[in-house]
Amino acid sequence: MEGSALAPPRQVTRQGYLVVTILLGIGGSLVALAAFGHGTYRVGPLLVEMSVKPATSGTTELGVEFAQLGLKGGTAKAETHSGFLALRGSVVGIIGDASALEAVQVTRDPLTLAKAIRDQGKTAFRKFAIRLGLVTLGGGASGGAAIALIGLKTRRMFQGMLAGVLVVGILGLLAWQTYDIDKFQKVGFSTAATQLLKR
């Protein structure tokens, strides 16, 4: 009588494979996001390299790497959202010399740059989101494929893919819902030299 309450060994094995598939799918998506979750896009007069990585806290780092034509280099970091994604936007160039004056204006401080990226970067964000979706799908599928080889069950790839996309999607939605751009009011751009002086 007691043995009838236990699940058959085969069912327990299937459940074990499913759990491992989900974990590997999530892990694969996060690894792929860390490795390939970046791209360079036009945002108004600027060329901005955007990246997203898994992290222990929700931060955004803004930087100006193209310190020419009147632009000043530096970085600023703020805790802008909830969740476990680190966002980064770095100005790596400008579109033509004629845009230099506008580029100087929008990079004068972190808050102005953040608002410029938000307001002028809708097309860039759409392209970047598509890239992140494909990267996440590929990473989740790779994680699921590792289990799919055992027993040659291709559905494991789809299960891993679904798990990875779901977790990254939830993290992205959480970041979007809780994002507070005004956190950049309290920070300014700092260079490597000024950071050394603070130490």
Question: Does residue 6 lie within any of the structural domains?
Answer: no
Of residues 38 and 19, which shows the higher confidence score? 38
Q: Which residues pair with 144 in a beta bridge?
A: none
Q: Is the predicted pLDDT of residue 3 greater than 90, yes or no?
A: no
Which H helix or E strand runs over 181?
none
* pLDDT-derived band at 72, boundaries 50, 70, 90: confident
How far is the C-alpha of 90 from the C-alpha of 63, rounded, in Å?
4
Cβ contacts of 84 within 8 Å, gap of 6 or more: 54, 55, 56, 57, 58, 171
Identify which of 41, 89, 34 has the alpha carbon closest to the alpha carbon of residue 64. Answer: 89
Where in the sequence is the domain holding 121, given as residue range(s)? 17-182
The pLDDT of residue 19 is: 87
Q: Is the predicted pLDDT of residue 101 greater than 90, yes or no?
A: no
Question: Does residue 125 lie within any of the structural domains?
Answer: yes
Q: Is the predicted pLDDT of residue 127 greater than 80, yes or no?
A: yes
Question: Does residue 158 lie within any of the structural domains?
Answer: yes
Question: Does residue 174 lie within any of the structural domains?
Answer: yes
What's the angle, vertex CA 134, arms to CA 84 and CA 52, rounded to 5?
30
What are the two backbone dihedrals, phi and then psi, of residue 46, each rounded to the nearest 5 degrees?
-110, 155
Work out the mean pLDDT of the chain and round it to a whole number: 87
How confident is the model over 102-112, as pLDDT tens digits? 999 999 999 99
pTM reported for the whole predicted model: 0.84
Alpha-carbon distances, residue 66 vs 48, 75, 89, 164 (angstroms) = 10, 12, 12, 35
Total tally of structural domains belonging to the chain? 1
Of residues 31 and 16, which shows the higher confidence score? 31
Q: Is the predicted pLDDT of residue 194 greater than 80, yes or no?
A: no
Question: Does residue 164 lie within any of the structural domains?
Answer: yes
* pLDDT-derived band at 1, boundaries 50, 70, 90: very low
Question: Does residue 108 lie within any of the structural domains?
Answer: yes
